[in-house]
């Protein structure tokens, strides 16, 4: 009888172990990736070229904004709301990631003025798409977060462009660099 209880306990422990190891896999599977593998590779390859990387992020954010604009006028259905929620979350993630990159490039005095100009010009369009999208229960929180991230990114791009213009006017010998070199 004792061996039967031991076998049952061992079986229960094995089931518990399987369930515990399956939970992280399920969570990983549900994690959304805002970029497809080809886009991730493009970002990775542009890693040492700050201006190019900012241009790529701007392009990919623009593509997500266009998808959101296209979904905005479709019939209000649960699958549409779910897709909009996903797209809005992806858009927010990309804007936040770009903001983090801008912080790094700013600290190392990379000259990204051209990319910042393009970003500053694109940001108001994204915000107008987000603000024109009527909130619905299925994606309203994601919409609000996307607007907040978009406003922060637009402000950051404008501020950095101003700072960089001033900095590189004073340090003309450093213009066009990817990072400040110690002197």
- Judge if pTM exceeds 0.85: no
Query: Cβ contacts of residue 101 below 8 Å, gap of 6+?
Result: 50, 53, 54, 57
| Average pLDDT of the residues in 114-118 | 96
Is 50 exceeded by the pLDDT of residue 47? yes
Taking the CA atoms of the chain, what radius of gyration do you get in angstroms?
Answer: 23
Reduced to 3 states (helix: H, G, I; strand: E, B; else coil), residue 95 is: helix
176 pLDDT tier (thresholds 50, 70, 90): confident
Helix spans in 33-139 (H): 37-45, 50-72, 78-107, 113-132
Q: Residue 149: pLDDT above 50?
A: yes
Quick one: pLDDT at residue 171? 84
**Residue 160: CB partners within 8 Å, gap ≥ 6?**
102, 106, 112, 116
């Amino acid at each position: 009888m004792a061996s039967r209880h031991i076998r049952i306990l061992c079986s229960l422990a094995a089931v518990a172990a399987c369930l515990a190891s399956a939970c992280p896999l399920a969570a990983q599977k549900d994690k959304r990736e805002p970029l497809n593998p080809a886009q991730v590779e493009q970002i990775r390859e542009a890693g040492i070229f700050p201006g190019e990387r900012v241009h790529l992020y701007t392009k990919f954010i623009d593509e997500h904004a266009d998808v959101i604009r296209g979904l905005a006028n479709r019939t209000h259905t649960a699958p549409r709301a779910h897709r909009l929620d996903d797209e809005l979350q992806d858009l927010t993630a990309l804007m936040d990631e770009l903001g983090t990159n801008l912080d790094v490039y700013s600290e190392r005095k990379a000259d990204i003025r051209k990319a910042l100009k393009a970003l500053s010009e694109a940001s108001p369009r994204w915000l107008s798409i987000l603000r024109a999208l009527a909130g619905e229960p299925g994606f309203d929180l994601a919409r609000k977060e996307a607007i907040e991230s978009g406003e922060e990114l637009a402000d950051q791009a404008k501020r950095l462009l101003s700072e960089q213009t001033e900095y590189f006017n004073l340090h003309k010998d450093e213009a066009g660099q990817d990072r400040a070199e110690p002197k």
